[in-house]
Structure 1
Amino acid sequence: MVDPAMLLGLVPDGLATLDPTARTIVTAARTCFTERGFSNTTMQDIADAAGVGVATVYRRFRHKRNLVRLTIMDESLRLSTLVSEVAARAATPEEGIAEVFAAFVHEASAPKLLTRSIRESPAAGELSAYLTDENLIAMTRGYIATWLRRWQERGELSAELDAEVVGEMIGRLIISLIRTPKSVIPIYNQNQARDFARRYLVPLVLQAPAPAPG
């Protein structure tokens, strides 16, 4: 299976470029932005959470705005790891897709969210730029396609299914819901999310189209 950390490492100027101290600072910043809000977080708050001096934080990043993109990547890694664990426990593709979408919904309905904190701050443009970056779309497509191919190899999905195309369709849906969460799609109720996934997402993978003649 593809490691989420490896996929995120493919994003230019991403987490893989950081040394251990900088990585600790990024994770501390993610926690602070989530708990306190971006605007209410100071560089001293981040330093205290990271267990380093504030001068170290300034020397590495100069301004908390320079941490925003990296904290979003750190959150992406956390969520990808969680989703991997959920998918790995699924007995069937149908269960996997429904439970993964429900897990996403559970995280999206948390009372404190990094994405909400940043979306409602002067750094909102950083979130929008990250969510529309073609590297993120490619990474998300590849991550989902990896699970689809695993189920294909086990004979649980049709070999005719284009894992890359379906992976991108599902990935773009999830990215869109993160960017603009107000929707008629039920993303704040896990049971309704499971029903939505079974009704609309599962058929994408179970009803693979026949190849065109010729």
Structure 2
Amino acid sequence: MSKREQQKQQRRENIIKIATDLFLEQGIQTIQMQDIATAAGVGIATLFRYFPKKEYLVIAATNAITDKMATDVGEIVGQTITAYEKIEQILDYYIKVTKDPQLRLAKFYESFDLYEKIAEESPDQYAEYLSARSKLAGILLTVGDQGKQDGSLRSDADLQVFMMTMVQNFSIFAYKSRLTKHDAYLSSLLTAEKQLFMMKDVFLRYIRP
């Protein structure tokens, strides 16, 4: 890669990082392309050369968040502990990342639902979108394989299906539960924390040998 190409790549990554921070702090709908260009120190025309649509930048921000999660989960999976303990820590990780008084990540994903289909409009954007998710999925699937080897997970379960079902549903529920409002009585009974720890217990009970 030439020096010029490296500079372009670094500028693109910087734009994505700044856009991600702005989307999380102020909301996808609030932030405009000019806000991102100003914060990144580039002209609006330059920004549009990298990202012709705001929607593509939202997708890039989502991929950046997914890549960060893959790195974090990868560190958990890389530990010398049992597969069962790794799954417990992965569930705790998703509880932790959604535990934000400002609900930034939960609100981001709620808004992202409006943009997800747009990824398919651009082959390049869609390839990056799938790659980010495949990276995380690949890391998770290694835990199921380890569980078969170390005996810490039940042997009669389809552990690959379990891992993907668990993470997909637990992560979605973690975000949704933080945003759900109830009346005064139900709010004290159905706190997001209580629901998530109960759901975690259900998953862990299912995979115990």
Q: Which TM-score tier does this pair reach, normalised by the shorter chain?
A: 0.5 to 0.7
Aligned pairs (5 A) from 1:1-214: 19-89=9-79, 91-110=81-100, 111-117=102-108, 119-120=110-111, 124-127=113-116, 141-157=137-153, 160-177=156-173, 180-181=176-177, 182=180, 188-189=192-193, 193-194=196-197, 196-197=199-200, 199-207=201-209
Could you say if the C-alpha distance between residues 137 and 176 of structure 1 is closer, same or farther in structure 2, counting changes exceeding 3 Å? farther
Superposition deviation, residue 90 in structure 1: 6.9
Q: List alignment gaps of at least 5 residues for structure 2.
A: 1-7, 120-125
Larger mean CA deviation between 102-111 and 19-28 belongs to: 19-28
CA distance in 1, matches of 2:151, 2:108: 43
Q: Which entry has the higher C-alpha Rg, 1 or 2?
A: 2
Per the alignment, do residues 47 and 115 of structure 1 end up closer, same or farther by CA in structure 2, a change over 3 Å counting? farther
Alpha carbons 1:145, 1:164 under 8 Å: kept: yes
Q: 1:33 to 1:174 in 2, by over 3 A?
A: same
CA contact (8 A) 2:66 2:136 kept: no
Percent identity, aligned pairs only?
20
Contact kept? 1:98, 1:194, Cα under 8 Å: no
Deviation at 1:35, TM superposition (A): 0.9
AA at the equivalent of 2:146: R
Aligned-partner Cα distance in 1 for 2:104–2:26: 10
- Which is helix-richer, 1 or 2? 2
**Equivalent position amino acid for 1:38 in 2:** I
Q: CA deviation at 1:43?
A: 2.1
Q: State the SS of the aligned residue for 2:65.
A: helix
Give the distance between the partners of 1:68 and 1:90, measured in 2 at CA. 36
Q: TM-score, normalised by structure 1?
A: 0.66
Q: How many residues align?
A: 183
Quick one: which amino acid aligns to residue 148 of structure 2? Q
CA distance in 2, matches of 1:194, 1:88: 24
Of 87-96 and 161-170, deviating more is 87-96
Q: TM-score, normalised by structure 2?
A: 0.67
Distance 1:59 1:39 in 2: 21
Question: Could you tell me which amino acid in structure 2 is paired with residue 99 of structure 1?
Answer: Q
CA distance in 2, matches of 1:201, 1:30: 31
**1:29 and 1:67 in contact (8 A); partners too:** yes
Q: C-alpha deviations, 1:173-193, integer Å up to 9, x for none?
A: 135326744499x7843x874
In structure 2, C-alpha distance between the alignment counterparts of 1:60 and 1:24, rounded to whole Å: 11
Worse overlay, 53-62 or 27-36:
53-62
Matched-pair contact (CA < 8 Å) for 1:141–1:171: no
Change (3 A) 1:72 1:115: farther
